[in-house]
Amino acid sequence: MTFNLGEYQDPAAIQRVLHGAKTIAIVGLSPKELRSSYFVGYYLQRHGYEVIPVNPRETEILGEKSYPSLTEIPKKVDIVDVFRAPDAVPGIAREAARIGAGTLWTQFGVISEEGAKIAEAGGLTVIMDRCLKVEHARYIGRMHWLGFNTHRITSVRSGLQ
């Protein structure tokens, strides 16, 4: 049987996760402002989420204490957002299940069949190969006002025909 990535990109599941989450642990969050993980974390903070950095090389990112691993976070985590290489996902999925996180979310290009199976077996919802910031903007932020879900983006001021 082949790996069906589409089952981990369901719009209804994405919306349910986004609307139900308050706390997001970002594994691989960088302190460098030009990195995508930093921008995603900054965006999520600005939109009311509590962002918890997980990076063993840092003590603080985005004004928040950084933890070396998920298991050291002292509070409930709704989403574990992964900015690491695909081969790191199975271990992260095990930790996410161990702490009782609600969702394992992997960013664009971070695809791991093994990690998805581990997370699902641990009771987590899995969203894979999707950007949390983009999906938030699509379903909750202002992007949805512009017809982003029409699968057509245009600069024509008269709008879509």
Q: Indicate whether 161 belongs to any domain.
A: no
pLDDT at 139: 87
Residues 6 or more apart whose Cβ sits within 8 Å of residue 111:
5, 86, 128, 129
Please say whether the beta carbons of 106 and 82 come within 8 A.
Answer: yes
Q: Indicate whether 135 belongs to any domain.
A: yes
Q: Indicate whether 159 belongs to any domain.
A: no
CATH number at residue 23: 3.40.50.720
Apex CA 155: angle with CA 153 and CA 160, to 5°?
Answer: 60
Q: Indicate whether 87 belongs to any domain.
A: yes
pLDDT tens profile 85-98: 999 999 999 999 99
Give the domain extent around 89: 5-150
Quote the CA–CA distance of 18 and 21 in Å, as a whole number.
6
Q: Indicate whether 133 belongs to any domain.
A: yes
pLDDT tens profile 107-128: 999 999 999 999 999 999 999 9
Q: What is the pTM (predicted TM-score) of this model?
A: 0.88
Q: Indicate whether 158 belongs to any domain.
A: no
Quote the mean pLDDT of the chain: 90
Look at the chain and report how many structural domains it folds into: 1
* Mean of pLDDT values over 149-153: 50
pLDDT at 119: 98
